[in-house]
Amino acid sequence: MGLIVQKYGGTSVGSIEKIEKVADKIIEEKTSGNQVVVVVSAMGDTTDQLLSLVQKITMSPSSRELDMLLSTGEQMSSSLLAMMINERGHRAVSLTGWQAGIMTESFHTNARIMDIDISRINLHLAQDEIVIIAGFQGICVNNNITTLGRGGSDTTAVAVAAALKAKKCDIYTDVMGVFTTDPRIEEKAKKLNRIGYDEMLEMANLGASVLHPRAVEFAKNYQVRLEVRSSMCSERGTVIEEDKRVEQSHIVSGVAFDDNITRVTLIDVPMLSLSSIFTLLADKGVNVDVIIQGAPQQNRMTISFSIKTDDLSQTVKVLKEKKQILNFKDIDIESHLAKVSIVGSGMVSNPGVAAEMFTVLDNEGIEVKMVSTSEIKVSTIISSEEKELAVSALHDALIISKKAVYLK
Amino acid sequence: MGLIVQKYGGTSVGSIEKIEKVADKIIEEKTSGNQVVVVVSAMGDTTDQLLSLVQKITMSPSSRELDMLLSTGEQMSSSLLAMMINERGHRAVSLTGWQAGIMTESFHTNARIMDIDISRINLHLAQDEIVIIAGFQGICVNNNITTLGRGGSDTTAVAVAAALKAKKCDIYTDVMGVFTTDPRIEEKAKKLNRIGYDEMLEMANLGASVLHPRAVEFAKNYQVRLEVRSSMCSERGTVIEEDKRVEQSHIVSGVAFDDNITRVTLIDVPMLSLSSIFTLLADKGVNVDVIIQGAPQQNRMTISFSIKTDDLSQTVKVLKEKKQILNFKDIDIESHLAKVSIVGSGMVSNPGVAAEMFTVLDNEGIEVKMVSTSEIKVSTIISSEEKELAVSALHDALIISKKAVYLK
């Protein structure tokens, strides 16, 4: 007997019929002898419906009021799920974020969890009840309702699992697990049986939307054993845990990609302006990813960096405003780019893998415009039109043909 | 300058367009120099929509979970209203029941307010903010969300007004005020400029659904000056306050009625069973209204009482189960009855008014099946088919022809 935390996403509780299936899964876990704490997202398109009401009122809602409004979605789904479990003869109780003791920063719409007061959850567990917690939300020191931003319910689940020292945290979703790449792009994509935290973190950050990076980071920091699995069947999913693999034959775990990348190039910049440029962009919330710096000549150089295309107008505005002070000559923009990356903890001891990646891309005639590397990934910026070709070729060469032992 | 509490019902905030109008009214009150606290119901049919989801799950939902679910309706409307006011350049903040300090009994779906901790409301008022409170809800000592039952938002508004010692409490609704009788039945019905608490209490209890009796009682106990008025125009409504009228020419303030009444007659009952009968029914939540007891013969008698027809099956079930113990001979049921009542605080010093009522009904050929009286009302139980005729005749004779000075 142990304590299991389960998390169900919005599509898993998208209708009363689906809530029924979810209730079955929860009851199955409970009757197998475990204590069960469930974290649930808002039903299907509830959040979108609420946001469409907001759009009729204002284009710039107060973030405090937005949290007040959006948090109702999870409160609804959690109470409906508790009713369903009760109706099936088991005892369940729903808790809002504040009732569950989820304490966050006073930062609306994107707050981080600071602490969890588990006393009330434990009280209900001690009464042999199934505890259903409204995900995505918490309360700040001023007793205002906060929300956790994208992937917030994943984070709630992992944080609750960590605080309760749960045996594991099952993330139920509408896919079977974590795949070597997106199956919608590459039909040969395989489900991974397991993946390390760091690899998952890279995959998540690089656009594999199955699990939010913040949740993975939390799981890594508190060593919470995660499993991503489907709420529609009973097949095992992908376990995410500390990487303990001794075998290094499987160097690359997955091919990740991210769309809507833009490269910004500043021509003839003084070296002294570099820190100012990136401080300026960071202050405006622009996330600069890959940076390439040309060789300086007389303390001036050309510098390129990649950003999300969503941040482009903000970036250009800021740079043009400060053109005099930053003292660069010209600015050049290239949009319609994509980032394609290979991820794998085995790469740290296999320096040849980056070379292999470039060879594969070169054979396909794909021009690599920018590169960045970490110990467990190599990212390339390429033309958006060549993304699918690149993903497929890299997946074939670095995963399928290596017959990695951790695949099914 | 003073503090005004305003309450807006579900139809007043039934759409974004209506919320816009409500925001205008609130801002008008604020810019006239008053502090404003607003209590708001759930938008239009939100509650019905939530209940239809519940019906797909269970016919007997846990009342705790029902409160958890239904309280989201007011949380939504309060945050949307706050956004609308913010959008118009004024500062507003929405508060849930628990944030507003509304402490209730631990009795779900029909809790009474025990106390209000006004510290947070005062904090926001001190910052010159408009405070929008989610009506109908509170929190119990176990930190569970409770709801206040029918007319709950009225009660929230009055309780908040009492706690804050507000100058007045305006109840905005979809009618112009309190009428001498229902204008949908009697076109000669007039809006009252003012009415006493006790009269309003009788009117409310007798089916005039404009204001919930619990809210009126609360207002009377704490001497909160109420005004019922339309959210769609700026005309004055009906003020409800302590009856200070010296003139007694206007004896009857209104004609109220209530449908779906059933008369239950128990034949040949021992006198000793009487208290058992009514205790039994009270325990089952059956509200017994008028009771008529025949003259006893050898300690046995016939007894009739009226109930809401909704309670009929429950009543018959209980009585039949206990027939042996209660030792009555037979039970007789007459449904399709209505209660028609005249209400007026002037009646206490005018004993002739009941006689006048019977004369009017007699002239119309209407048979009075049961009667009950209090100091400020006379109620008659008559056939449902004769209800409209009775209302019209009584309204003509006792209100229109008296040219009551408190009418417009």
Using one digit for the tens of pLDDT, what is the confidence trace for B286-331? 888 888 888 888 888 899 999 999 899 999 999 999 999 999 999 9
In whole angstroms, give the CA distance from residue A221 to residue A211: 16
Whether B99 and chain A come into contact, CB under 8 Å, resolves to yes
Domains of chain A: which residue ranges?
A: 3-174, 254-402
State how far residue B126 is from chain A, nearest Cα, in angstroms.
Answer: 16
Whether A63 and chain B come into contact, CB under 8 Å, resolves to no
Whether A117 and chain B come into contact, CB under 8 Å, resolves to no
Enter the ipTM.
0.82
State how far residue B86 is from chain A, nearest Cα, in angstroms.
Answer: 8
Between A18-32, B96-110, B180-194, B379-393, the lowest mean confidence (pLDDT) is in: B180-194
At residue B246, the pLDDT reads: 43
Q: Which DSSP category does A383 fall into? A: E
At residue A250, the pLDDT reads: 65
Q: Would you call A72 and B69 a contact, using CB atoms and an 8 Å cutoff?
A: no
Contacts of B66 in chain A (CB under 8 A): 79, 83
> Mutation test of the interface with chain B: which of A43, A79, A99, choosing the one with the most B Cβ atoms within 10 A?
A79
Is 80 exceeded by the pLDDT of residue B405?
A: no
Q: What is the mean pLDDT of residues B65-84?
A: 97
Determine the straight-line distance between the first and last CA of chain A, rounded to whole angstroms: 29
Is 70 exceeded by the pLDDT of residue A406?
A: no
Whether A93 and chain B come into contact, CB under 8 Å, resolves to yes
Is 60 exceeded by the pLDDT of residue B249?
A: no
Whether B146 and chain A come into contact, CB under 8 Å, resolves to no
3 state DSSP class of B389: helix
Mean pLDDT of chain A: 90
Cβ–Cβ < 8 Å for A284, A320: no
The residue among B47, B65, B67, B48 whose CA lies nearest residue A23 is B65
At A141, is the pLDDT very low, low, confident or very high (cuts 50, 70, 90)? Answer: very high
Q: Would you call B68 and A19 a contact, using CB atoms and an 8 Å cutoff?
A: no
State how far residue B54 is from chain A, nearest Cα, in angstroms.
Answer: 7
Whether B84 and chain A come into contact, CB under 8 Å, resolves to yes
State how far residue B121 is from chain A, nearest Cα, in angstroms.
Answer: 13
Using one digit for the tens of pLDDT, what is the confidence trace for B336-392? 999 999 998 877 777 788 888 999 999 999 999 998 888 888 999 999 999 999 999
Determine the straight-line distance between the first and last CA of chain B, rounded to whole angstroms: 29
Instruction: Label residue B186 left, alpha or beta by phi (over 0 means left) and psi (-120 to 50 means alpha).
Output: beta
Q: What CATH number labels B254-402?
A: 3.30.2130.10
State how far residue A15 is from chain B, nearest Cα, in angstroms.
Answer: 9
Whether B68 and chain A come into contact, CB under 8 Å, resolves to yes
Q: What is the mean pLDDT of residues B13-33?
A: 96
In whole angstroms, give the CA distance from residue A319 to residue A335: 17
Residue bearing the bigger pLDDT, B146 or B356: B146
The pTM for the full model equals 0.83
Between A9-23, A136-150, A219-233, A273-287, the lowest mean confidence (pLDDT) is in: A273-287
Is 70 exceeded by the pLDDT of residue A405?
A: no
Q: Would you call B79 and A57 a contact, using CB atoms and an 8 Å cutoff?
A: no
Q: Would you call A80 and B16 a contact, using CB atoms and an 8 Å cutoff?
A: no
- Sequence-separated contacts (24+) of B351-359 with Cβ below 8 Å: B353/B251, B353/B252, B353/B378, B353/B398, B354/B378, B356/B397, B356/B398, B357/B394, B357/B398
Q: Would you call A61 and B83 a contact, using CB atoms and an 8 Å cutoff?
A: yes
Q: Would you call A69 and B50 a contact, using CB atoms and an 8 Å cutoff?
A: no
Q: Would you call A80 and B72 a contact, using CB atoms and an 8 Å cutoff?
A: no
Residues, chain A: 408
Is 90 exceeded by the pLDDT of residue A233?
A: no
Tokens of A202: 């890279």
Q: Which of A57, A65, A69 sits opposite B16 (nearest CB)?
A: A57
Using one digit for the tens of pLDDT, what is the confidence trace for A369-398? 998 888 888 999 999 999 999 999 999 999
Q: Would you call B145 and A78 a contact, using CB atoms and an 8 Å cutoff?
A: no
Question: Please, how many CA atoms are within 13 Å of residue A242, restricted to the half-sphere of its CB?
Answer: 5
At residue A376, the pLDDT reads: 85
Tokens of B405: 């000075």
Domain B3-174 and domain B254-402, same fold? Reply is no
Task: Classify domain B3-174 at the CATH superfamily level.
Answer: Acetylglutamate kinase-like (3.40.1160.10)
In whole angstroms, give the CA distance from residue B344 to residue B379: 12
CB contacts under 8 A, A 125-144 vs B, are 143-144
Q: Which helix (H) or strand (E) holds B202?
A: helix B197-205
Between A239-248, B9-18, B216-225, the lowest mean confidence (pLDDT) is in: A239-248
> Mutation test of the interface with chain A: which of B13, B16, B53, choosing the one with the most A Cβ atoms within 10 A?
B53
